[in-house]
Amino acid sequence: MTGDHSHHGHMHDHEHMHGDGVIHSHPHSHEENHEHHSDCPGEAILRVDGVAFSYKSHSVLEDIEVGVSRGEILAILGPNGVGKSTLLRCMNMILRPQKGAILVDNADLSKMSANDIAKNVGYVAQRSEAARMTVFDSVLLGRKPHISWKLTKEDYAMVEDALAKFGLSSMQLRYIDEISGGELQRVCVCRAIVQEPSVLLLDEPTSALDLSRQMEILHLIRHVVDQHNCATIMTMHDLNLALRFADRFVFMKGGKIYAACDKWGVTPELIQEVYGIEVDVIFHNELPVVIPK
Amino acid sequence: MKHDAADYKSYVGKKAGIIIVGIILCVVLFLLTISVGAITIPIPDVIATLLHGPGGTGLFDRALWNIRIPQALTAVVAGAGLAIAGVAMQSVLRNPLASPFTLGLSNAAAFGAAVGILLFGAGTTGSSIADAVVVNNPYLTTICAFVFSLATTAIILAIAKVRGATPETMVLAGVAISSLFSAGLMAIQYFVDDTQLASIVFWQFGDVSRASWSELGLITAVVAVCSLYLFIKRWDFNAIDAGEETAKGLGVNVSRTRLLGMIAASLISAIVVAFLGVIGFVGLVCPHMMRRIVGDDHRFLIPASVICGALLLLAADTVARTIIAPQVLPVAVLTSFLGAPIFIYLIIKGRRM
């Protein structure tokens, strides 16, 4: 199926909608399915409400509105330096937005302690440092927000389960500065999972991984989201991987959200407006594939 | 082969085992240390005297309770304190070369002591090796040294506050202030008379025999409180090791942990240096020795380093008192002589668990 023509109509709505750079929670479009696709389905577990962020006088994010529901993977896409990682860091208050609020289950994160935020939102940084600690120790660290003084049986059991699920059991006593990049990435995601967050934030989870490791980690993330009924928001550069694994997409441009859509909304026009290059969007096995011309 | 939490627990158990062995070694070495000296007291008599408690009037009682026990305990507390301060500094500053003295604390203390000796005519504290040196007002020297090294910490923290508490800011500020004080110290040494110069130089040779029971109590209180704080924060230090952003994602207030960690480590260093003089190497090397044996996990690294520091300083003090007896060497000379070869061996052969 080649869907690029049949979805042209949607695109023009998108352009009008996002001309002012704002995502409206109730799009003006009258097309039934479009409305469904462009907004967050169901009750949002995490909602970014009118967030603005600047480093000193340099504005990075303006007027951001995004939401994600349980069981959903949201990909934040856009060119380098557009503010994707900054937005992600605002979502768990590593960076404090100057305006707006981040709501998790309708609770304002700015009113929570760092430890309580960590119980709700897990975060995997783009780069992780490999200290001289074992895989088990590193994953156990994910229990930190829940540990008061002593580790409990549940802490150990949870780590043991997560390691097995991530295929890390056989290397649980190896030092993380001696494992491969793909394994380290799995360790970091695994650590965020045992944190038991309702929302998982992943900054470029597939960068620095080979093709099979990219697929492996994204399959794992999909599995975790489905099984734990949590939500995941991830920034990505690889459009086709994002299109394959995420449920919805947010395209950023100039520190604002330019468009939000599901896979049917990804058109050559949208990609050109966001990335400035001409592409074809073809459908392969019901999935859109972006191919630069 | 099954891989589960039980495997991990037995692995962790080995680390705990190493710490327990360290504690036993420490006790044995402690008994050995207090048994040797100008008169050798047989170990059974040592134990009997210890069980008696203080207050006896026999020769052994007086030698042990008045001289050897406070000196050995001072070595234990100072060694433990310097080592834990080293662990904290290395973690906070993300720099393997960090030690309690990286931030110029020892130079500041030495400068402070020199100022005390020069301006107030104070002398060094009573010491078995400094008999020839005039002792006018030992407490003033100690107070000057302490105030100067704390002032250094305050300046560095103030700079960190303005520029953000990054490891780079703190290390660079520390290096700058350190050289400032060492220049000041040189200037003072150039202008003072011979007696004062001797006092200043003697003060700098770290020596665990300077502390009396009451001074030991004060040092112990500071070291214990700060060490407890650092140990409570062991998970936070582990998280920071995994990367600053990862730590923040795990709910760690990275800047505050760094600042408070710095303050705790600086307080320990300042109190030890002020009372005992400069004892190098322990704080730098004990954490590294233990990193090679128990790894970077602060749950084990902190207690292991504490024990390693105590052991090294006890051993150094024992050798310092016996190697050219009846002459006594300053312990600071021996820490490096003993520590460096062990450390080089570990760099080359280091067994990593």
DSSP A39: S
Q: What angle do CA A25, A120, A143 make, to 5 degrees?
A: 155
The pLDDT tens digits for A119-129 are 999 999 988 88
Whole-number mean pLDDT of chain A?
84
Which residue of B lies nearest to A163 if distances are taken between CA atoms? B4
Whether the per-residue pLDDT at A15 is higher than 50: the answer is no
Q: What's the rounded Cα separation, in Å, for the pair A246 and A287?
A: 11
Whether residue A142 and residue B250 make contact (CB cut-off 8 A), yes or no, is yes
Distance, in angstroms, between B91 CA and closest chain A CA?
Answer: 11
Mind listing the domains of chain A with CATH numbers?
Answer: 8-292 (3.40.50.300)
Distance, in angstroms, between B3 CA and closest chain A CA?
Answer: 6
Q: What's the rounded Cα separation, in Å, for the pair B69 and B219?
A: 15
Domain spans in chain B, listed from the N-terminal domain onward: 5-349
Residue among B37, B40, B78, B30 nearest B309 (CA): B78
Whole-number mean pLDDT of chain B?
85
Contacts of A163 in chain B (CB under 8 A): 3
Which residue of B lies nearest to A162 if distances are taken between CA atoms? B4
Whether residue B352 and residue A175 make contact (CB cut-off 8 A), yes or no, is yes
Give, to the nearest 10 degrees, the angle between helix B282-294 and helix B69-93.
70
Q: What's the rounded Cα separation, in Å, for the pair B239 and B218?
A: 32
What is the DSSP code string of B15-82? HHHHHHHHHHHHHHHHHHHHH-SSSPPPHHHHHHHHHH-TT--SHHHHIIIIIIHHHHHHHHHHHHHH
Average pLDDT over residues A171-185: 89
What pLDDT is stored for residue A171 in this prediction? 92
Which residue of B lies nearest to A90 if distances are taken between CA atoms? B249
What pLDDT is stored for residue A25 in this prediction? 39
Whether residue B249 and residue A118 make contact (CB cut-off 8 A), yes or no, is yes
Interface contact B253, partner A, CB < 8 A? yes
What pLDDT is stored for residue B138 in this prediction? 67
The pLDDT tens digits for B289-306 are 898 888 889 999 999 999
Interface contact B353, partner A, CB < 8 A? no
For residue A269, count other CB atoms closer than 10 A to its CB.
18
- Tokens 């030690």 locate to B99
**Least confident piece of the model among A123-137, A248-262, B69-83:** A123-137
The pLDDT tens digits for B317-326 are 999 888 877 7
CATH superfamily of B5-349: ABC transporter involved in vitamin B12 uptake, BtuC (1.10.3470.10)
Which residue of B lies nearest to A91 if distances are taken between CA atoms? B249
Residue among B277, B260, B276 nearest B225 (CA): B260
* Total beta-carbon pairs less than 8 A apart between chain A and chain B: 102
**Given B4, B8, B296, which is nearest A132 (Cβ)?**
B296
Distance, in angstroms, between A94 CA and closest chain B CA?
Answer: 6
Tell which wins on pLDDT, B221 or A209: B221
- Tokens 């020199």 locate to B114
The pLDDT tens digits for A84-100 are 999 999 999 999 999 99
What pLDDT is stored for residue B351 in this prediction? 52
Average pLDDT over residues B25-30: 95
Whether residue B295 and residue A170 make contact (CB cut-off 8 A), yes or no, is no
The separation between the first and the last C-alpha atoms of chain A, rounded to the nearest angstrom, is 19
pLDDT tier, B173 (very low <50, low <70, confident <90, very high otherwise)? confident
What pLDDT is stored for residue A182 in this prediction? 85
Which residue of A lies nearest to B236 if distances are taken between CA atoms? A144
* Beta-strand pair A287-292/A279-284: antiparallel
Whether the per-residue pLDDT at B130 is higher than 90: the answer is no
Whether the per-residue pLDDT at A204 is higher than 80: the answer is yes
**Amino acid identity for residue B71 in this structure:** Q
Interface contact B243, partner A, CB < 8 A? yes
Whether the per-residue pLDDT at B206 is higher than 80: the answer is yes
